[in-house]
């Protein structure tokens, strides 16, 4: 039975990677110790040895589950297949087999995500791809000592989830050593017939990921200031117009890929090197900063603000044109 379970990882076709040398002594390693007494009687040297009974290191059963999202995952209501990522690691000193389960009924959140599936990082790139392999419920995943695997928990977001956060929790539990308090021993059940000892309650560990409903509102405020050639504010040919566009993100979540796009008005000409972001100059060529003119889109000022969280300081883009 044990051989069948250990072979399941190969049948799953999952690529898993060790993180380097394991500090703990491996399960089944023999520990021996011999003491020697050396002495002289007259001119003769003598020695006598005494050895303790050898023993083998027991198998420590331990696993960790770590969320790898780096923070809350922004989602929209009614969104499907929203991924959270976790690292499953065999923290024990011998090979073990782990079963994954998901629990979305966690106290303290505002809504319960609807579980869809667990996906294994079969490509090994740490990112969720549509081609990654779906985990079969109840299948045991074999991990050697110190080995880890990234998995993605996919959930659907309810239509009524219009506020705050929802928590998803994934658990990894030893398929064989799965009951008992810390220090519980399984005599003769470990590697090579050594005892297996629980280093984690019930041979299980869990981690949580959090979704946050992104209810983002972006507002723009645009102003223009006219300066004519004589120090006044008349819109005459040759006058300079300074446009300012202020972008503010409010609500909750993050506006991703926020971009300001402003076509040069008809009957005007853009004044070279006048584009700014929050008072700092931007180059017109756009090769080394966030803005460009006439590059991304002809006859257009474009400034990429990136991912802007709600409540962040407003961003102001400005540039000048002359009236033809």
Asked whether residue 126 carries a pLDDT value surpassing 90, the answer given is: no
Q: Evaluate whether residue 133 is within a structural domain.
A: yes
Q: What's the token pair of residue 27?
A: 């399960």
Asked whether residue 145 carries a pLDDT value surpassing 90, the answer given is: yes
Asked whether residue 309 carries a pLDDT value surpassing 80, the answer given is: yes
Shared domain check, 152 and 119: yes
> What does the pLDDT read at residue 11?
41
pLDDT digits (tens, 9 = 90+) for 204-229: 999 999 998 877 889 999 999 999 99
User: What CATH number does residue 120 fall under?
Assistant: 2.60.40.10
The count of domains in the chain is 2
> What does the pLDDT read at residue 17?
41
Shared domain check, 307 and 202: no
> What does the pLDDT read at residue 15?
42
pLDDT digits (tens, 9 = 90+) for 186-201: 999 999 999 999 999 9
Q: Evaluate whether residue 27 is within a structural domain.
A: no
Q: Evaluate whether residue 232 is within a structural domain.
A: yes
- Per the CB < 8 A criterion, the answer to whether 139 and 7 are in contact is no
**77 CB-contact burial (10 Å; exposed 0-12 / middle 13-18 / buried 19+):** middle
State how far the Cα of 265 lies from the Cα of 271, in Å rounded to an integer: 12
pLDDT digits (tens, 9 = 90+) for 271-302: 999 999 999 999 999 778 999 999 999 999 99
Asked whether residue 132 carries a pLDDT value surpassing 70, the answer given is: yes
User: What CATH number does residue 267 fall under?
Assistant: 2.60.40
Give the single-character DSSP code of 140: P
End of a domain among 186, 211, 236?
211
Shared domain check, 220 and 177: no
């Amino acid at each position: 039975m044990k051989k069948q379970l250990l072979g399941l990882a190969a049948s799953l076709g999952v690529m898993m990677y060790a993180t380097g040398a394991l500090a703990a002594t491996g399960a089944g390693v023999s520990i021996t110790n011999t003491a020697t007494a050396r002495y002289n009687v007259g001119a003769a040297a003598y020695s006598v040895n005494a050895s303790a009974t050898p023993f083998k290191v027991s198998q420590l059963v331990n696993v960790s589950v770590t969320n790898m999202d780096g923070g809350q995952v922004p989602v929209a209501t009614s969104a499907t297949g929203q991924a959270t990522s976790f690292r499953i690691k065999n923290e024990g000193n011998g090979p073990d087999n782990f079963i994954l389960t998901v629990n979305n009924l966690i106290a303290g959140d505002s809504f319960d995500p609807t579980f869809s599936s667990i996906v294994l990082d079969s490509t090994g790139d740490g990112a969720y791809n549509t081609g990654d392999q779906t985990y079969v419920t109840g299948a045991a995943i074999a991990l050697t000592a110190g080995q880890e695997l990234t998995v993605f928990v996919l959930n659907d977001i309810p239509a009524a989830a219009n506020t705050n956060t929802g928590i998803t929790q994934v658990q990894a539990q030893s398929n064989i050593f799965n009951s008992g308090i810390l220090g519980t021993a399984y005599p003769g059940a470990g590697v090579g017939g050594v005892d297996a000892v629980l280093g984690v309650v019930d041979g299980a560990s869990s981690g949580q990921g959090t979704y946050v409903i992104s209810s983002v509102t972006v507002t723009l405020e645009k102003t223009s200031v006219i300066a004519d050639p004589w120090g006044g504010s008349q819109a005459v040919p040759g006058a300079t117009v300074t446009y300012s566009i202020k972008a503010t993100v409010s609500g909750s979540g993050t506006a991703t890929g926020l971009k300001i796009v402003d076509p040069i008005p008809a009957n005007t000409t853009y004044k070279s090197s006048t584009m700014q972001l929050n008072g700092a100059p931007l180059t017109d060529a756009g090769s080394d900063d966030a803005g460009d003119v006439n590059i991304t889109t002809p006859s257009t000022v474009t400034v990429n603000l990136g991912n802007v969280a709600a409540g962040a300081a407003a961003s102001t883009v400005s540039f000048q044109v002359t009236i033809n």
